[in-house]
Each structure stands twice: as C-alpha cells, then as structure tokens.
Amino acid sequence: IEEDDIQAVVDTLKSGFLVQGKRVQQFEAQVAELTGASHAVAVSNCTAALHLALVALGISYGDLVIVPAYSWLSTANVVELCGATPIFVDVEPDTFNMSVDALKGKLKALMEDADSASRVKAVIPVHVFGQMAKMDAILALCTPYNIPVIEDAACALGSAVAQKQAGTWGTLGCFSFHPRKAITTGEGGIVVTDDQALANQLRALRNHGLDAESASPDFVLAGYNYRMTDLQGALGTTQMQKLERILASRRTCAARYAELLTGSDIAFPQPTNREAHVFQSYVVLLPLAVAPRRADVITALRDKGIQTTIGTYHMPMTRHFREQGNYQTGDFPIADQIAAQALTLPVYEGLSLEEQAFVVSTLLDVVHQFS
Ligand SMILES: *Cc1c(COP(=O)(O)O)cnc(C)c1O
C-alpha cells in the first residue's frame, strides 16, 4: 500500500459517497480493459464472485459441478452453497492445475449415465498460484456437452496464454483482491464475462435483485448484497496502475529462484511460457522423503527469519468434504503428493537477489538435515 493508494481512499471518504459508485465503476473499467472482457462486475470478494457466477448460470439443487481437488476451499464451497455437489478431479503433478486426463475420464463416466449426465452443469478450473490451467483442452472437453466453464482466476489477474487473458476463456471468470493476491482492495472480487445477459444478471444478483437497466427501481430476482464499497473501488484503481510493475517484479523473483534451485532435489515451477504464470505464490515441492517433516522444515526456516507456508488445500481430504464424499487417501494420488510436499517461498516486490540466495541455501541445508 503506497501513498497514492492511501490518498485515493481518503479522497473517497471525504467525497461522502461510499458504496458502489463512480470509483467502483472506474475499477471495473480498468479490469475490463486489462482482461479484454466486455463486462466486469465488482463484488465484495472472489468467493462472492464465484457464488454469483454459479447462481447466474442457474446452478441449484441436485446439480453437479466439477472442480479440481487442490485449491482454496471457496472453489468447492460455492458449489455446495448453491445446493449442488462438487465433483473433484485430480490435478497435474507439474502445474498443480486440474488434470485434463482426469477431467476427461470423469466427464466420460458422468455422461455415460443418463441421470448424472443431465445434472453436470459447470466445470471450474482453477489457475492455481497464478498459473493458467490448460484452458484450450478443458474447453475442448466441455464444449461438445455445452457445459459452461467458470474460471477461478482468483490468483491469476494478468496471466495469459497466446495473448488471451486468464478469466476470459470460459463463460465467466472470477478474480480476487484479497491481500494475499498481487494487488488488493482489502477484500474484493470481480466477475468478467462477454455475455451481456449474464452481466445484467450478476449486477442484479449483487444488489438485492435490483435491475441495473431499469430507469425506476425494479427488483427482478431475489438477490444478495455482495456490493463492493467505493473505498475498495478507489484502492483498486490505484492498485491496478501498479499491476504491471508488481507482476514484473514477481516474475523476476521467480526466475531467480528457478536459477538458484536448478540442480537441487527441490522441484520448482517451470511454466511453458512466461506469460502464463504471475506467481501469486511461488510453490516448490520438497523431496518425498522430507515431506513428512514439512512442519519441521517450516519451523527451522522460521528460526532463520524466513517465512514459508504450505501450498493450498486438498479439498476432498478436508473434514467436511471427506466425510460427505467418503474420500480416502489414494482417490486423488497427485493431489495427495502435492498437498504433502508443497512449500511456498517468500515472493514480493523488493525481495533482493541476496535474500533469495539466502532463502534457497538455508532451505537446502534444512532439507539435507532432514533427509
Ligand atoms: C483467494 C482465493 C479465492 C477466494 O478469494 P476471496 O476474495 O478471499 O474470497 C478463491 N479461489 C482461489 C483459488 C483463491 O486463491
């Protein structure tokens, strides 16, 4: 948070207009421009964005929505909040993103059965840690069945493949502006889409069902209050101006880590092209033998002044979904491994090469001590 961010929020406070006004509109216009989407609808957070994306598509009781096993819990929670059931599929060992083969197998099985075939209503690939999932292959599997794809692009603002931005491949794309993401509005989220009717639906849904198109107030559905404040919108507008700079510095940090880790027994991200990953988190895999002692690795690094953490969550193995789906270790073998081995290293603008060298040399020392 820099001086211009603070000033933008103070100016908004002084303006006296605090909720979903001009500043939110400006922020939406910036995100639409960056992504190339026709519509951007700001909401209170990305979980709300994902929830509204599902509601706008009409997903409700009895429906099935396919999600990857490895993500932040929002991805699966929102499905259940609509009364639908998340169907988990395993992820890829190198990108941690939804496995195209696993999706293919799961879709085939679901579509062979007339009952389940009629209930599959969406697929939500996640661009885990800011690296784009294989959208072309995922869309190629879903399009023949007319299954809409919602991108959980919470961590991926600014990543792209073939110059097409994350969030604009599917029918809807959702971004987060939580402080853990590259740019922040405190809490905040946005849905992008090219579909005018869906955008209108989203605008009504976020604001008590109020028809955004109508000249006099008219309520066209039972909506939520998922509005973004103008304080957040103002912060978003100044943060958006820094996005390119912040992403460039994160990519520089990632390239340095890659160089420092080459030749070690730590597996590190190797995106196929520079554009496809914005490194919301820099997540490496500990050697299998060391994984059971990951908590000790984190403590040993912390004692040296280095903050690290796990990656994200193996959703079907968290208590609620595990009990509900009766999932066992081995049902999602790649997610099992990644969830055990993942370690997030520090990445932020201003992290120096010397500090990164210290992180890596300390990590390698600790890993060898525990091997
Ligand atoms: C952060 C995150 C979310 C949730 O975003 P909020 O804005 O905190 O609601 C959802 N999905 C993924 C993959 C995330 O990383």
pLDDT tens-digit readout, 103-123: 999 999 999 999 999 999 999
DSSP structural state of residue 226? -
76, amino acid identity:
A
Given the CA of residue 180, which atom of ligand 1 is nearest to it?
1
The verdict on the CB of residue 182 being under 6 Å from ligand 1 is: no
Residue that wins the pLDDT comparison between 272 and 31: 31
* pLDDT of 58 over the 90 cut: yes
Rounded distance from Cα 118 to ligand 1 centre (Å) = 29
pLDDT band at 247 (very low <50, low <70, confident <90, very high): very high
pLDDT band at 22 (very low <50, low <70, confident <90, very high): very high
> Is 305 exposed, middle or buried, given 0-12, 13-18 or 19+ CB atoms closer than 10 A?
exposed
What is the pLDDT at residue 79? 98
> Is 32 exposed, middle or buried, given 0-12, 13-18 or 19+ CB atoms closer than 10 A?
middle
pLDDT band at 273 (very low <50, low <70, confident <90, very high): confident
Radius of gyration in angstroms for the set of CA atoms belonging to the chain, rounded to a whole number: 21
What is the pLDDT at residue 89? 98
What is the pLDDT at residue 294? 98
Both tokens assigned to 64: 């099935």
Rounded distance from Cα 184 to ligand 1 centre (Å) = 12
State the average pLDDT over residues 357-363: 98
In the set 14, 134, 181, 242, the catalytic residue is 181
| pLDDT tens, position by position, 164-216 | 999 999 999 999 999 999 999 999 999 999 999 999 999 999 999 999 888 99
User: Please, are residues 40 and 28 in contact by the beta-carbon 8 Å criterion?
Assistant: yes
**Residue indicated by tokens 């990445």:** 347
What is the pLDDT at residue 201? 97
What is the pLDDT at residue 271? 94
In 3D space, the residue among 309, 307, 311, 295 whose CA is nearest the CA of residue 351 turns out to be: 307
In 3D space, the residue among 306, 281, 276, 282 whose CA is nearest the CA of residue 366 turns out to be: 306
What is the pLDDT at residue 94? 96
What is the pLDDT at residue 20? 95
CA dihedral 110, 114, 117, 118 (to 10 degrees): -160
Residue 181 annotated to the active site: yes
Q: Where are the beta strands (DSSP E) in the chain?
A: 39-43, 64-68, 70-71, 85-89, 120-123, 150-152, 160-161, 164-165, 172-176, 189-193, 282-285, 313-314, 342-345
User: Please, are residues 91 and 152 in contact by the beta-carbon 8 Å criterion?
Assistant: no
* pLDDT of 371 over the 90 cut: no
Distance CA 121, CA 55 (A): 11
pLDDT band at 272 (very low <50, low <70, confident <90, very high): confident
Given the CA of residue 177, which atom of ligand 1 is nearest to it?
7
Distance CA 7, CA 89 (A): 45
Q: Return the best residue to mutate from 45, 46, 129, 312 for the ligand 1 pocket (most ligand atoms within 8 A of CB).
A: 46
Distance CA 133, CA 328 (A): 25
| pLDDT tens, position by position, 119-164 | 999 999 999 999 999 999 999 999 999 999 999 999 999 999 999 9
